[in-house]
Amino acid sequence: MRVWIIFLLCLAGHAMAAPTEEEPVVEELVTEEPVVEDVAQETEVGANPVQIEIGDFDEAIEVVEEEEVVTENACLNHHCKKGKVCEVDESNTPMCVCQDPSTCPAAEGEFEHVCGTDNKTFDTSCQFFATKCALEGTKKGHKLHIDYIGPCKYIEPCLDSELNEFPLRMRDWLKNVLVTLYERDEDNNLLTEKQKLRVKKIYENEKRLQAGEHTLDLLAHDFEKNYNMYIFPVHWQFGQLDQHPVDGYLTHTELSPLRAPLIPMEHCTTRFFEQCDGDNDKYIALDEWAKCFGIKEQDVDNDLII
């Protein structure tokens, strides 16, 4: 559980930075968008989704016969999605082209490996996104996403009984993540002022179940007795994930910063999020998300996404 909390601290940092591209984590539960596939976009619960650095470009100096003219490289302010790099043509017009996977930096350790939905291990997320880019426009490319962080391995099937237990731990984890962020915030801007006010009520509640390893019976009892403490954490997590774009729906890509690091440790993760998509439209709406975590319909409130 402590590993999970550390992960969300990293995730919160990335979310507050309002990345313009997907992170880590990993494909869309929905229509494809540039991912953490967006993880690592396919972030302990694990490690934060690996981000791809395109790097800085030096100024290009063109020497003309009569005078020296400084031409700024148009790629300096031109951003490409993961898997692509910027190049300029003869007229200095920037364009995004697929990166050659062989140009990706070598992995420094096994923790940089990612497993694709094709059950193939990629050395780094850079290599994964470059490979996916080369398949752009094909059926294979559309279906290829980061499944989870780490080398591909056998994931045990999730039994019905285990699936019912999953949200008990997740709810408790989300609440404790928020409390931890509140305790460590100070001037770190881990939470907004409105979020702090919400979490302060949870933090100061003497009935709050302290973080730790608890039995499922105790977690279920606490959810029943202190139900109101769990409403905001569930809404908060939805808002943290709904970033690319902010539209009130979670895609597979947006989910990847959360699910990709979880899968190797929680084998019911994939089945749980698949079940959340009640209408099977590849998008998880706020009401579907809340229902998955046991939040009552009358307590679902868009105004809590703050």
CA nearest 272: which of 162, 171, 176, 175? 162
Q: 95-118 burial, b if ≥16 CB within 10 A, otherwise e?
A: ebebbebeebeebeeeebbbbbbe
pLDDT for the residue numbered 185: 87
Spacing of C-alpha 253 from chain mean position: 7
pLDDT for the residue numbered 189: 84
What pTM was estimated for this model as a whole? 0.68
> Tokens 């962080």 map to which residue?
149
- Give the integer Cα–Cα distance in Å for 305 and 43: 20
Predicted confidence (pLDDT) at residue 85 exceeds the cutoff of 80: yes
pLDDT for the residue numbered 252: 86
Query: Angle formed by the axes of helices 269-276 and 252-262, to 10°?
Result: 150
**How confident is residue 92, by pLDDT bands cut at 50, 70 and 90?**
confident
Mean pLDDT of the 88-98 span: 89
Predicted confidence (pLDDT) at residue 13 exceeds the cutoff of 80: no
